[in-house]
Structures are given as structure tokens and as C-alpha cells.
Amino acid sequence: MSETDTKPAPKAVYVKSYGCQMNVYDSQRMADVMGAEGYREVATPEEADLILLNTCHIRERAAEKVYSELGRMRVLKDEAKAQGRQVLVGVAGCVAQAEGEEIVKRAKVVDLVVGPQSYHRLPDLIARAKARPGVVDTEFPVEDKFKALPAASEAKTRSRGLTAFVTVQEGCDKFCTFCVVPYTRGAEVSRPVAQVIAEAAKLAEAGVREITLLGQNVNAYHGTGPDGVEWTLAKLLYRLAEIPGVARLRYTTSHPREMTDDLIEAHRDLDTLMPYLHLPVQSGSTAVLKRMNRKHTRDDYFRLVDRIRQARPDIALSSDFIVGFPGETDADFADTMDLVRRVGFASAYTFSYSQRPGTPGAEMDGQLAEPLKTARLHELQALITAQQRAFQESLVGRVVDVLFEKAGRKPGQMVGRSPYLSPVQVIGPSSLAGTIVPVRITGAKTNSLDGDLVGADGDRRASDHMMTVHAAE
């Protein structure tokens, strides 16, 4: 027997993400923390010794999903036990933060509950849970979590692909009356500029070409710079654009109130900053916006969109909408439909209002019946889908830059992303991966585009400047 055969197999960790992109980022950090402890990351829970569910609490359905998943984990855990193997199950993320102790009481399968601010403590918590299941850590510690989290190895980063997330800001002080995030993620904290630059530089060295900066209110970023003063998101973006290899920058999610002049100017001046902006408005009714505590009116949003489009005429906008917020009348909903028609979105997420425990909205008078909410949701969704299709079709015949990532499903096919985030398929060599090349769009579906590679094409610039965003009625 060789020496390697006698070594115990390394432990394996499986992390499943629900909810937003920040959870995706956090899940990778959790895998990295455990990687530093000798755990390898696996793609299925069946192979794992440690299962972490990184949960979302934003709507009731998201939060409840965890419990059905835990039912499945109990079966896995019992099977492993029968084979003499100990499997630990941990609940992380926003349900962990919101429900804490309750989770252990409700689901005995859970060995560990860990809130988003304690991931750097995972090794210690796991050691404790192994000895005595039922460990709960939902504190908001004073130490800098990000500083304490290990960075992924270069090999690991490479295996994760050409695009990456970097959390630059976490938490929220806005307290929209429907939303749990200020309670699950805590107060707004910005990471220092130097830390963000170092992480981005490392990603770029490992081959990452596109970086998306994350924050619950990312445009409220105010991290301390190396010069000792606070930097805005715009200033950070200009600096990140200088890193060799960083070809594309994005940021999400923005709050309309934090779209400062310098950020709008960055969209005008910075080619690296992609012309696609997710700018949630939630409702088109000023009365509803007021009750939501969004602190802006519908006209503020129109004015803002005008300013952004003046700076960057080809920008594509996306948004989030909640229908059926308490007290929403037919006229309020008509205002939302009207806002969507007037703005014209390239895509948008639509949600039916969900009463969340502990939020002011849950206690408001005028809660709407489910069938009414559903009817409004469908009406809004139909309009958004039509706009999305119209936007995709407006790209047909145009030439757009595509960052190619991987082989497609069909032989000889490569897939990448347009500046507007839609997947683009072409027939082309696998050497395209990691490059950004012009593609003429030949066909559009609701969620993807087909195209042909363009050689040294003289008409490319001209066609780019002709771009307008068409909104469907």
C-alpha cells in the first residue's frame, strides 16, 4: 500500500445558497474557511461530512424552504450514521440570524446555527457542535469579519470562473417597512478600500475578468481609503478599473436615494463599468412609497432615470417591484404599471408582498387578500416579460461585446455574457473563453441571445452608438 492510501480521506463540505448574491459570496467564503481547515468542497450533500445551508429570510416562502430541505438532510444524516459516519448540519444566513435558537428547537437535525456576521468563527463553532450539537452564534461581533476570513487559493478562484462577486458593503440602515434585511444583516458597514482592492487584484491575477461589487445598499458605500478619508462607490470603481485584467465592473444593489452625481458620471466616463443598472423602485405610487419608507417619490425616480440616461444613453435598467403592499389601491397599482411603461426596463423582478415578522409593514392596516395580490403580480409580470423580450429583440442586428465563459450545450458552441447580462451563444473555438470579443446578435429569446463572431468590423462603433432602449407597451 502506498503512503497516500493510508491517509484518512479529507473531510468534505457542501454549501447550498439561497437568496441573494451576497449569500453566494458568503457561501464561497464559508467553503474557503473550511478549506483552510482541510475540508474539500463537494457538489452534493451525499458526499459531505459538513452540510451548510445558507438561507434567505426575505419572503415567507424563502424562509420556509429551509425546513423542507432540513427534512431531506435528516434522512442523509441518518443514513450516514447507519454507516458509522458523523454528518454535521449547519444553518447559516438570514434565517439563522432571524430565528436563531428556534431553528434548533424546530429541527433537531440542526447541529449548528450561524449568523452572517460569524462565518470567520466556523471552525471553532463546528468543533463545539461536534462535541455538543445545538450551537447557536447569531452575535454581531465587533471584529472585522472580512479581515478574519481567509482568501481562496488561486487554484480555487480559477475553478470558480471568470466572473466574481466582491462584497464591499453589508447591512442596511434604510428600514423599508416591508424588509427584514436591516434585522438580519445589521447596520451598514463598508469594507476599507485597501481590502477591496487587494481582493479584486487577487481575483484578477487568478483570471477573473468581471467583478460585481455587492452590498445591500452598495451605492451608499463609504469605505475608508488609504488616504484616511471616506471613498464613494464611484471613486472605488475608478480605482478598481485600473487593476490589470479587470475588464468589466458591475455593482448591485443600488438604492435610488444614493445615486450620487459622481456615480452617474462614472457611468458616463468609465468604459469598464457595464451599461446595466439594477435600481429597485418597488412601487410606482408615491403614497405606497411613503408607507414603504423608501423616502423618494415616483417623480424622483423619473428624474433620476433621466439623469442616468443622459449620462449613459445605452444603459439598460432593471428593478424590483412589490405588489400588494398594505393599502395598495387599484389606482396605486395603475401607477406602478404606468411607471414601468414610462421607464422601460430590460428586466425586472416582481414579488407579491409577504408579511414578515418584526417589520412595520406586517402590522399595517389594509393587508390585501392573496388572490388580489396574485392577479396584480401576473399583470405586472406580463408587462415586464413583454419589455424584456422587446429589449432583447432591440439587440438583434447590433454588435455587442461578449465576455466568453464556457462551452455551450451544443457541440462547437461557446457561451458568454453581453454587457446587459444576457447569455449569448455563438459557434466558435473554446479558446474564446476568457476573452471579450464583438458578436453580431442574430436572434433573441426572452433570456438569451444568439450571435455570430465579428472579425475586424468597421461598423461596430457606429452601431454601438445607435443603441436605444426600447420599451414595450
The interface mask with ligand F3S, positions 157-196, x = CB under 6 A, is -----------------------xx--xx-----------
Site for ligand F3S contains 57 (CB under 6 A) = yes
The stretch near ligand SAH (CB under 6 A) out of 97-105, 178-186, 367-375, 421-429 is 178-186
Site for ligand SAH contains 353 (CB under 6 A) = yes
The stretch near ligand F3S (CB under 6 A) out of 14-22, 80-88, 355-363, 416-424 is 14-22
Which residues pair with residue 403 across a beta bridge? 417, 436
The stretch near ligand SAH (CB under 6 A) out of 100-108, 230-238, 352-360, 456-464 is 352-360
Comparison of 258 and 464: residue with beta carbon closer to ligand SF4: 258
Angstrom CA distances, 393 to 366, 369, 469, stand at: 40, 37, 10
The stretch near ligand SAH (CB under 6 A) out of 240-248, 346-354, 382-390, 406-414 is 346-354
The interface mask with ligand SAH, positions 378-417, x = CB under 6 A, is ----------------------------------------
Site for ligand SAH contains 255 (CB under 6 A) = yes
Site for ligand SAH contains 181 (CB under 6 A) = yes
User: Quick check: 425 and 453 in contact, CB under 8 A?
Assistant: no
Minimum distance from CB of 389 to ligand SF4 (Å)?
27
Q: What is the b/e burial string over 313-351, where b = at least 16 CB atoms within 10 angstroms of the residue's CB? A: ebbbbbbebbbbbbbbeeebbebbbebbeebbbbbbebb
Which residues pair with residue 450 across a beta bridge? 425, 443
Minimum distance from CB of 356 to ligand F3S (Å)?
9
Distance CA 273, CA 210 (A): 10
Distance CA 218, CA 181 (A): 14
Q: From the list 33, 34, 48, 94, which residue makes contact with ligand F3S (rule: CB under 6 A)?
A: 94
The stretch near ligand SAH (CB under 6 A) out of 154-162, 351-359, 375-383, 435-443 is 351-359
Residue type, 340: V
Comparison of 254 and 418: residue with beta carbon closer to ligand F3S: 254
Per CB under 6 A, residues contacting ligand F3S are: 19-20, 22-23, 56-58, 93-94, 180-181, 184-185
Per CB under 6 A, residues contacting ligand SF4 are: 172, 174-176, 179, 181-182, 216-217, 255
